[in-house]
Structure 1
Amino acid sequence: MKKELQLQLTPEEAYNEEVFQNTVLKRLGLASENQEIIARQVKRSIDARGRQVKVNVTAEVFFKEKPTPFLTSPKAYQNVSNKESIIIVGAGPAGLFAALRAIELGVKPIIIERGKDVRSRRRDIAAINKDHIVNPESNYCFGEGGAGTYSDGKLYTRSKKRGDIRRIMEILVAHGATEEILVDAHPHIGTNKLPKLVAELRESILQAGGQVLFETKVVDFILESNAIKGVITAEGERIFGKGVILATGHSARDIFHLLHHKKILIEAKPFALGVRIEHAQNLIDRIQYHCAVDRGPYLPASSYSLVHQTTYEGKQRGVFSFCMCPGGFIVPAATSPGEIVVNGMSPSRRDSKFANSGMVVAVELEDLPQYQKYGPLAAMMFQAEVEQKAWKLGGESQTAPAQRMADFTQKRLSKDLLETSYQPGLLSVDMYEVLPDFIAQRLKQGLLAFGQKMKGYLTNDAQIIGVESRTSSPVRIPRDKESFEHPIIKGLYPCAEGAGYAGGIVSAAMDGERCAEKLIEKVFG
């Protein structure tokens, strides 16, 4: 027999397994030595709104029976090595999950990835951090697993319209993720564990007869009568398939230039731009958990989510936190020499002494009148210019421009900077010189408002580091709402973040699956 309980627990009761089991027995009025009852958490979320932090838990209690497995045996993928092929450009979560879904539907995927396999990427990432060398084909954004692999691994998404979130999570668990991601309200794998998981996903694709081509860059499309027949690589190889899923991520500017050059319909898209803010994790814990010293041994590193509507020159725009990384690090996410881009990541234990978050300002196309000459690439060119300016002001290396937070709001150059998790180092700079005026002024308004919402948040014991500019794609590749196919180029399926249709690992994975389904339904019936 199984019974479901709704519980509100202390952190120790929720996160200490032995205490949890005993707590459930007490709630049921049973003796603590009862060996015939097993309790299991199936949903868990932290409620820190009151002075005492509580954890809301949905638990299943099994009486005189073994708990049913969270996950049935992973599905054995059929062999598709001799089946018809589709092409998937990009081996991020969208590309990998599109490939697995294609295999399930009996079609052979050919994944083409400009970067290296997930293990080989490490050397190039180390070179950015230590030697300030940016490999434009292999970095924090490009390579197997995409941008999420080495820049956090958060799995939380509000996007339910694209597909089955639980299905994505179960596939991840089947390939090595912990079952905790099926339980926590804000699941997270961690950048230290994601590479192995990504490699396991690739292994499933290869064992089923799919192909994965690394260090293979798509430089052109094979088009016939407004239909895409395949792609051409930098080595001149022509690869044909029954359709092309374009899952290149939000930083593949060469693909956006190629689409524009080929006169394939694309559109400029609003995005957001700002900075990373770094606090001591202990400070955020004390604010969020209302604790005097530290959060204790059971609570995870705390996070926050902030948003404020600002008005500048008569226009309203949002300022909001983005990709908050508790117990994490700030990393250099440039994809070309001559630019500074910062992003955040957290290891699985979230045990760094730093907390960081993007703090960004919404950018609408009407904010960029001087860039309209670039047509659909307007927002992208604006984004690139800000990154290049940050590089120059940071000393023309991966050293990032930075300023203490209170100094920024008071327009005062910081005499010195704080210790940081950002390995390439920081340089004290007036961030009003780095950021466009309409961004800087709105950011100042937002930080002052957040200081009122979270007492202690606005402090000179925190610093802003620039620039956080790759929040989402500045270009949208249009597609039909029903078929997902490009409205003009038949057989082309724009997918996930790079096309403007997703915003993270899970939503990208779901979009990849849907694109594979739509393509295969159209081509193979």
Structure 2
Amino acid sequence: MLKQELEVLLAPEVAFDELARYEAILQQAGLAPGEADFVHLRRRSIDARGRQPLVRLRADIYQSAPPSELFGPWFVYPNVKANNPRVLIIGAGPAGLFAALRCLELGLKPIVLERGRDVRARRRDLAAINKDQLVNPDSNYCFGEGGAGTYSDGKLYTRATKRGDVGRVLRRLVQHGATPDILVDAHPHIGTNKLPAVVQALREAIIDAGGEVHFETRVTDLLLDNNQLRGVVTATGATVEAEATILATGHSARDIYELLHRRGVLIEAKPFALGVRVEHPQELIDQAQYRRIDRGLLPAASYSLVHQTEVRGEQRGVFSFCMCPGGFIVPAATAPGEVVVNGMSPSRRDSRYANSGIVAAVELADMDVKQYGPLAGLHFQQQIEQLACRAAGGTQHAPAQLLGDFLKNKQSASLLETSYQPGLVSVQMDDVLGSVLAERLRQGFRDFGRKIPGYATNAAQIVGVESRTSAPIRIPRDKDTLRHPEVAGLYPCGEGAGYAGGIVSAAMDGERCAEAVRAAVSR
């Protein structure tokens, strides 16, 4: 029986010690140890607003044994048979994997097609990018089992709480090997070193229950019959048919957007964001946020920043994106001849660098590529990435500039050490970003420097380009059925379709699409 709900502020050395935390919570509740059988920690966050950082905890105190639902439920996947309705799922990122798991629960047979390699074989392709600067267009930091999140971070925080059951997604991840801390932390994070094992366990659960997962299987055409999608054609010429297709390819599958456009499937250009990664010493961010460099038990400090800019009479937001405390900058290109950067953090967040995307909103009016119709944003994005590659010498070296020099519009004579393995080349970032986007970023950095002491100086450097924050295209769907408005059997899903923005929101969207398919095939 629930006895009391409590919120407390504790010193880190108490909050992260199980026995000390238990005693402190009971003391603040006015209870002796024998008066409570169980203390359930519901939420944990860092409160760094005072002179000394504290840990804010929300806890439930139980007078007797707590309810069993606190520890589950774990999900049981019934074995699907060959004659169950077949659902094609294109892409094995979080949207695709969670769509497949939900299909199993609903009695549907998922058939997952992934262009990239499985999560372990994929490591060799990432090593080739970092060490040899060779980009495999089908297996890289964006493509492959687990999608872009597997080897580029593992952050699980989302604001999309009305789009599905966040707790359900987190419990699935814990069931398949993620740390239970993600059920408690306000900004949960698995870590790119631990997420591959979780992704592999999700795949094994799908296969064990009778689903299928096929790697190195790239979709090259659609089986369209009078606006009815019957299935797909793969690069080998094989055809795969199903009652419905969930398209969960992620935001970087440009060939899929081009295929849809070529086959007359309605797609729409949409705004996105573009900018750079900024890299600081983690100690600088720790000092600014915690007022001390020695964090002790506290995690590496992070930040979230936003500023409204105005250039040539047009207002656009500039904001931090995918901030990676104690992390690394990684090469996220999906084709030779382009340079794209992203950020990642290991579970311990113990790198000596902090990095974050700093990006500006790009509206359709900002793109001088209107001749491409709905593919305008895609081509604009691609042009910037190819320009970044040429500016840095045509390999996976990335163009970079000291932040203080960027604010003065001055090329840097030298650069700082970096976590970006392929290496950096000093350039004038205005030549890559263009004058308007560069000015927006300058206004943003100046404002961020007023908010965080030491932020906007030559102790940091910017690395380009951060261009894959979201899809530049939306694939429309009906808000109730989630089906494409013109093509029966097609269910656009996740980040690549424009309906999610991270691991958890993509996973929830995958579940929703599976439920929509179940409703459709039941009629």
For 1:72 and 1:320, locate their aligned partners in 2 and report how far apart those are by CA, in whole Å. Answer: 37
Amino acid at match of 2:363: E
Residue 189, structure 1, aligned to residue 190, structure 2: yes
Which residue identity lines up with residue 445 of structure 1 in the other structure?
A: Q
Query: Number of aligned pairs?
Result: 521
Distance 2:440 2:116 in 1: 36
Identical pairs, percent: 61
Deviation, structure 1 residue 50: 2.0
Distance between the aligned counterparts of 1:466 and 1:486, measured in 2?
35
Residues 36 and 61 in structure 2, CA contact (< 8 A), matched pair in contact too: no
Q: Secondary structure of the equivalent of 1:198?
A: helix
Q: Which amino acid in the other structure matches residue 135 of structure 1?
A: N
Structure 2 gaps of 5+ residues are none
Which position in structure 2 is the counterpart of 1:206?
Answer: 207
Deviation by residue 1:69-90 (Cα, 9 ceiling, x = unmatched): 6323522211113212010000
Question: Any unmatched runs of 5+ in structure 1?
Answer: none
Contact in 2 for aligned 1:393/1:434 (Cα 8 Å): yes
Match of 1:405 in 2: 403
Letter in 2 for 1:44: R
Partner of residue 152, structure 2: 151
Q: Do the aligned partners of 1:393 and 1:401 also contact (CA within 8 Å) in 2?
A: yes
Counterparts of residues 28-177 of structure 1 (less than 5 Å): 28-29=29-30, 37-63=37-63, 65=65, 68=68, 70-72=70-72, 74-82=74-82, 83-177=84-178
How far apart are 1:62 and its partner, in Å?
Answer: 3.6
Preserved contact between residue 21 and residue 38 of structure 1 (Cα < 8 Å): no
Query: What is the DSSP-based 3-state SS (H/G/I as helix, E as strand, rest coil) of the residue aligned with 1:70?
Result: helix
C-alpha contact (below 8 Å) 1:70/1:179 kept by paired residues: no
Q: Counterparts of 2:144 and 2:163 in 1: how far apart (Å)?
A: 24
Q: Name the structure 1 match of 2:417.
A: 419
8 A Cα contact 1:81 1:208, kept in partner: no
CA distance in 1, matches of 2:374, 2:458: 40
**1:314 aligned onto 2:313:** yes
Does the Cα contact within 8 Å between 1:36 and 1:65 map onto a contact in 2? no
Separation in 2, partners of 1:68, 1:79: 25
Q: Give, in angstroms, the shift of residue 495 of structure 1.
A: 0.5
Q: Give a deviation string over 1:61-116, Cα, whole Å, max 9, x none.
A: 34464785632352221111321201000000000000111111101000000000
Contact 2:35 2:63 in 1 (8 A): no
Once the two structures are overlaid, the 10-residue window that deviates more, 39-48 or 88-97, is 39-48
1:270-301 deviation digits (Å, cap 9, x = unpaired): 0000000000111001101122x322x21111
Runs of 4+ with >3 A deviation = 28-32, 34-38, 62-70
- Are the equivalent residues in 2 in contact too, given 1:277–1:359 (CA < 8 A)? yes
RMSD: 1.4
Of residues 74-83 and 499-508 in structure 1, the stretch that sits farther from structure 2 once superposed is 74-83
- Structure 2 counterpart of 1:304: 303
Task: Give the stretch that moved more between structures: 11-20 or 436-445.
Answer: 11-20
Q: Matched residues in 1 for 2:515 and 2:66: separation?
A: 37
Q: Does 1:441 align with 2:439?
A: yes
Q: Provide the secondary structure at the position in 1 that maps to 2:420.
A: coil
1:366 alignment partner AA: A
- 2:71 match: secondary structure: coil
Compute the TM-score of the two structures, normalised by the length of structure 1: 0.97
8 A Cα contact 2:273 2:467, kept in partner: yes
Matches of 2:41 and 2:515, distance apart in 1: 33
Aligned positions of 1:117-516 closer than 5 A: 117-291=118-292, 293-295=293-295, 297-368=296-367, 370-516=368-514
Structure 1 residues 339 and 70: CA distance shift in structure 2, 3 A:
same
Letter paired with 1:40: H
Q: Displacement, 1:16?
A: 2.1
Report the residue type matching 1:381 in the other structure: H
CA–CA distance in structure 1, aligned partners of residues 261 and 52 of structure 2: 55
Of 430-439 and 492-501, more deviation after overlay is shown by: 430-439
Judge conservation of contact 2:340–2:467 (CA < 8 Å) in 1.
yes
Q: Secondary structure at the match of 2:278?
A: strand
Deviations 1:329-355 (A, max 9, x none): 100000000000000001111111110
Q: Is the 8 A contact 1:38 1:67 kept in 2?
A: no
